[in-house]
Amino acid sequence: MDNKYILDSNTFIASYKQFYQFETFPSYWKKLSQVTKNSVILLDCIFSELSQSRKKEDEMDDLDFWLRDEYLGNHLKESQRQDILQKYAEIIQYVASSPFYNEKALRNWSNPNIADPWLIATACCEGIVIVTNEVANGKLHAGSPTGAVKIPDVAKEFGVHTISLFDFQKTFQFRF
Q: Let me know: does 83 contact 125? Beta carbons within 8 Å.
A: yes
The tens digit of pLDDT for each residue in 21-69 reads 999 999 999 999 998 888 999 998 898 888 765 667 777 888 988 988 8
pLDDT at 2 exceeding the cut of 80:
no
pLDDT at 1 exceeding the cut of 80:
no
The whole-number average pLDDT for the span 69-80 is 84
pLDDT at 13: 92
| Distance (Å, whole) CA 17 – CA 74 | 24
> Residue 91: which of 66, 65, 74, 116 has the closest Cα?
116
> Residue 158: which of 101, 79, 92 has the closest Cα?
92
pLDDT at 134: 95
**Fold category of 1-176 in CATH:** Rossmann fold (3.40.50)
Q: Let me know: does 9 contact 44? Beta carbons within 8 Å.
A: no
pLDDT at 38: 85
**SS3 call for 88:** helix
The tens digit of pLDDT for each residue in 136-147 reads 998 888 888 988
